């Protein structure tokens, strides 16, 4: 039953708007972030810079983000209604619990998942959850994935970038991929600040955050997972990446050509011959959201390169709450059929949403 009293749920344009990369954080976790960022022994300049600022700054942008992250109730629903968002797919904000020592991280992931599950239960027609994990302890992360999907009813896994400087193409993390494939849920690879071994030139120019550093690190991370052969080993596994594909669609021709050329040259003896060119994995194992990129040329390019059935809408709430951006996306001059796939039906399929209740 569509509730016609709620803005965005009247389907007046022929589609519902489902936002697929929306963030939250328990207040207690944000307190821990600030404590962690101020720890003089912490050797993680990206985390220090990012959360040292956002968790403490009095700037209106920082305060709006912090208040938005903490709220899973009236404020969030009001902001959704004001912008015509029918449904949010919500994940624990970056870097999740991935910066802490394994035992603490595992506990914090359970707490965050319980909190999100309560909110989904309270607002089942408005929210869907992704399960947060602590990859530092892969065995317990798999258990938490199973609990999140089977018991809490979540529909995806959130992986917030590298874990303490380690990328997840390392085989020690492959049990997570095996579990996601078996559970038949996608993994959302969300950005994190670049790790200490990469971040210095970004920090020097103030370009380490969402402006550029996030995209560079996440694109690299996704490519490392592809090039390690993860999708040859787990061919049904699906990933989701945001921000119009972290620039990978734009690079696709060159990635295919140069990956093949590098292999042929035997420059890196460890480099794997994959079953397919890199573009194949983008078109068969990866979904893209436009989070933070309300720009028709980029969205349309992604649709044309990897297929309109693989590109989904995301607002990136509360980091990029810009009501006009919803209108930009509504007014895109693309076929109505592709617009409905973008806003609604791709997300319904990927997250197995119960459309009758939206
Ligand atoms: Ca985000």
CA–CA distance, 134 with 112 (Å, rounded to integer): 11
Give me the CATH number covering residue 261: 3.20.20.140
Q: In angstroms, what is the span from residue 1 Cα to ligand 1's centroid?
A: 30
pLDDT value at position 30?
Answer: 97
CA of 268 to the centre of ligand 1 (A): 34
Name the pLDDT band for 355 (thresholds 50, 70, 90). low
What separation in Å is there between the alpha carbon of 291 and the centre of ligand 1?
7
Asked if residue 52 is part of any domain, the answer here is yes
Q: What pLDDT, in 10s, does the model give residues 72-95?
A: 999 999 999 999 999 999 999 999
CA of 211 to the centre of ligand 1 (A): 12
155 C-alpha to ligand 1 centroid (Å): 17
Tell me: pLDDT of 1 over 60.
Answer: no
Ramachandran region, residue 71 (left: φ > 0; alpha: ψ -120 to 50; beta: rest) = beta
- Encode 87-96: b = buried (16+ Cβ within 10 Å), e = exposed: bbbbbbbbbb
Instruction: Give a yes or no: residue 13 inside a domain.
Output: no
> Is residue 6 one of the residues assigned to a domain?
no
Domain count, the chain: 1
Q: What confidence category does residue 11 fall into, taking pLDDT thresholds of 50, 70 and 90?
A: low
Cα of 258 vs centre of ligand 1, distance in Å, is: 30
pLDDT tens track for 260-308:
999 999 999 999 999 999 999 999 999 999 999 999 999 999 999 999 9
pLDDT value at 5 more than 70 = no
For 319, phi then psi, to 5°, come to: -70, -30
Give tens-digit pLDDT for 190-210: 999 999 999 999 999 999 999
The contacts found for 165-168 with CB under 8 angstroms, 24 or more apart, are 165/44, 165/195, 165/196, 165/197, 167/220, 167/221, 167/224, 167/225, 168/135, 168/221, 168/225
Q: Is residue 12 in some structural domain?
A: no
Q: Is 156 within the bounds of a domain?
A: yes
Dist. CA 273–CA 114, nearest whole Å: 42
Per-residue pLDDT at 140 exceeds 60: yes
Query: In this structure, is residue 319 part of a structural domain?
Result: yes
Span from the CA of 156 to the centroid of ligand 1 (angstroms): 15
**Predicted pLDDT of residue 3:** 44
Residue 7 has pLDDT above 60, yes or no: no
Between the CA of 121 and the centroid of ligand 1 the distance, in Å, is 23
Residue 356 lies in a domain: no
Mean pLDDT, all residues of the chain = 96
Q: Answer yes or no: are the C-beta atoms of 333 and 300 closer than 8 Å.
A: no
Domain carrying residue 268:
18-351
CA of 278 to the centre of ligand 1 (A): 25
Ligand 1 centre from 190 Cα, in Å?
A: 7
Q: Whole-model pTM?
A: 0.97
Structure confidence by residue, pLDDT tens digits, 232-266: 999 999 999 999 999 999 999 999 999 999 999 99
Give distance in angstroms: CA of 145 to centre of ligand 1.
20
Does the pLDDT of residue 152 top 60, yes or no? yes
Provide, rounded to the nearest whole percent, the portion of the chain with pLDDT above 70: 96
- Residue 293 Cα to ligand 1 midpoint, Å, equals 11
Extract the tokens encoding 278: 């890199």
In a domain, 8, yes or no: no
Between CA 119 and CA 55, with CA 97 as vertex, the angle to 5 degrees is 80
């Amino acid at each position: 039953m569509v509730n016609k009293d709620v803005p965005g749920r009247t389907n007046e344009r022929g589609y519902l708007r489902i936002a697929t990369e929306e963030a939250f954080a328990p207040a207690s976790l944000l307190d821990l972030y600030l404590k962690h960022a101020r720890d003089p022994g912490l050797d993680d300049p990206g985390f220090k810079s990012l959360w040292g600022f956002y968790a403490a700054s009095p700037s209106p942008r920082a305060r709006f983000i912090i208040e938005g992250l903490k709220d899973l109730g009236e404020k969030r629903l009001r902001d959704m209604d004001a912008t015509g968002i029918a449904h949010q797919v919500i994940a624990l904000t970056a870097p999740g619990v991935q910066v802490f020592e394994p035992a603490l991280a595992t506990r914090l992931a359970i707490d965050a998942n319980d909190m999100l599950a309560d909110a989904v239960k309270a607002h089942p027609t408005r929210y869907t959850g992704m399960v947060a994990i602590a990859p530092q302890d892969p065995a317990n992360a798999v258990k938490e994935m199973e609990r999140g999907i089977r018991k809490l009813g979540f529909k995806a896994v959130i992986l917030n970038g590298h874990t303490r400087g380690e990328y997840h193409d390392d085989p020690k993390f492959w049990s997570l991929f095996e579990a996601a494939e078996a559970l038949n849920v996608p993994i959302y690879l969300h950005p994190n600040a670049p790790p200490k071994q990469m971040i210095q030139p970004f920090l020097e120019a103030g370009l380490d955050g969402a402006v550029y550093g996030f995209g560079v690190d996440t694109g690299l991370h996704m490519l490392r997972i592809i090039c390690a052969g993860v999708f040859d080993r787990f061919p049904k596994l699906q990933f989701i990446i945001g921000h119009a594909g972290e620039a990978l669609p734009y690079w696709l021709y060159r990635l295919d050509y140069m990956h093949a050329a590098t292999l042929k040259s035997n420059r890196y003896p460890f480099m794997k011959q994959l079953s397919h060119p890199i573009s194949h994995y983008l078109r068969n194992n990866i979904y893209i959201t436009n989070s933070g990129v309300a720009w028709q040329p980029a969205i349309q390019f992604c649709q044309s390169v990897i297929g309109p059935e693989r590109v989904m809408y995301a607002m990136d709430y509360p980091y990029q709450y810009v009501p006009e951006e919803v209108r930009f996306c509504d007014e895109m001059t693309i076929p109505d059929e592709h617009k409905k796939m973008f806003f609604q039906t791709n997300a319904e399929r990927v997250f197995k949403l119960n459309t009758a209740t939206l």
